[in-house]
Structure 1
Amino acid sequence: MPSIDVHAPVGLFSAESQAVLAEELAGVALRAEGLEPTPFLLEKSWVFFHRHAVEAVRSGLGTAAAGAVRIQILAPYGRLGAQAREKLIQDATEIVVRTTGDPTQAERTFVLIGETAESGWGLAGLTGGSLVAWAVGQSAATGSGSGESRVE
C-alpha cells in the first residue's frame, strides 16, 4: 500500500480537488503495485498534502518556481517494475494536469518514487512484509486483485 505526499503551493488545489487527487493518486499507485483499488485498500492508502508559500520553492536560478508540484510515492520494495514506475509517473502527472485544468502544469510537476524495505514501514503494528501479504490476501479473497508480488 502506498504512502503519498503532495507538495504544492497554497491555493493550487481546492479541498474538493484534493479529495479527487487523493483518490486518483492512491488508485494508480495501488494498480502499479498489482493491487485493485478496493475501498478497503484505498482507506489504508493515505495522501498527505503539504502546502507552501509560492516563494518557498526556488528554481536553480534562484527564481520562485510558481506552481511547482512534487509528488512523492513510497511503495513496498520490489512491488514496482520499471514499466510500472514509468506508467505511475505518467499517470500521476496526468492526474495533476487534469485536476488543475492547466496543460502546462506537467512541466511543473515532479514525481518521485521510492521503495521502502519490508522492515522499514508498517501500519497497525505490522511491518511491511506482513502487511503486504495481508493486503494481497485481502485482494485475492475478494477476487479484486492479481495477488502478484511485482508488476513489470
Structure 2
Amino acid sequence: MPMIDLYVTEGLLAEPQVVARRLAEIVMGVEQVPDIPMFRKNTAAFVHELPSGAIRNVDGDHDHVRIQVLTNAGALDRAKQIVVVEQLTEAVAKAAGDPTLVDRTWVLLTEAAEGGWGLWGHAHTNDELVGAARAEIAKLGGA
C-alpha cells in the first residue's frame, strides 16, 4: 500500500490526476499485491506541482522530476525495485510528452520502519498488514 509523491514543475503535466492514478497502478502492479479494496483504497500518488524555479540542481538546471515511493518494509525486492523505477520514470516522461525526461527523473525508494505503517489509526507491523489482507480476502470469498 505505497504512497507515491511526484514533484514536478507547475504545468509540466496536462492531466496530473491521470498521472497520479497511473503511478499508483504501476506500483500496485509491481508489488503484486491482491487486487482487493484494502490495497486499491490505500495505494495513492500525490502530485506536488512546484512553482517555476523551485527545482534546481548544482548547475542551475530546473527541468527535473522527483518521485518518492514509500512502502512497507520488504515490499520491493531488487527485481521489483528495478522494474518500478523504470516504469514510473517512463510513465512520467510519457505524460509530460518529453522522452528525454527519463534522464532527469529521480526516483527514491524508501521503506517505513517496522511498525511504522499507519492505517486506520493504527501503526501496523508487516505481519499485521498481511493478516488484515488475508482477513479481507477471506471476507471477499478468497478473491
Asked if TM exceeds 0.5, the reply is yes
Q: Determine which structure has the larger helix proportion and give its number.
A: 1
Q: 1:115 to 1:103 in 2, by over 3 A?
A: same
Displacement of 1:142 in angstroms is: 5.9
The superposition leaves residues 15-41 of structure 1 with CA deviations (integer Å, 9 ceiling, x where unpaired) of xx2222122211121223221445552
Q: 1:88 to 1:96 in 2, by over 3 A?
A: same
Give yes or no for the alignment of 1:103 onto 2:99.
yes
In 1, Cα distance between the equivalents of 2:98 and 2:29? 25
**Runs of 5+ unmatched residues, structure 2:** none
Q: 1:77 to 1:53 in 2, by over 3 A?
A: same
**Structure 1 partner of 2:3:** 3
**Runs of 5+ unmatched residues, structure 1:** 145-152
The one-letter code sitting in structure 1 at the alignment partner of 2:50 is H
Tell me the C-alpha RMSD between the 2 structures. Answer: 2.1
The question of whether the paired residues in 2 share the 8 Å contact of 1:117 and 1:128 is answered with no
User: Tell me, what secondary structure is at the counterpart of 2:53?
Assistant: helix
| TM-score in terms of structure 1 length | 0.80
In 1, Cα distance between the equivalents of 2:142 and 2:89? 29
The one-letter code sitting in structure 2 at the alignment partner of 1:11 is G
The one-letter code sitting in structure 2 at the alignment partner of 1:48 is F
The one-letter code sitting in structure 1 at the alignment partner of 2:48 is H
The question of whether the paired residues in 2 share the 8 Å contact of 1:56 and 1:64 is answered with no
The question of whether the paired residues in 2 share the 8 Å contact of 1:5 and 1:71 is answered with yes
The one-letter code sitting in structure 2 at the alignment partner of 1:5 is D
The question of whether the paired residues in 1 share the 8 Å contact of 2:21 and 2:44 is answered with no
The question of whether the paired residues in 1 share the 8 Å contact of 2:19 and 2:92 is answered with yes
- Give the length in aligned residue pairs: 140
User: Tell me, what secondary structure is at the counterpart of 1:55?
Assistant: coil
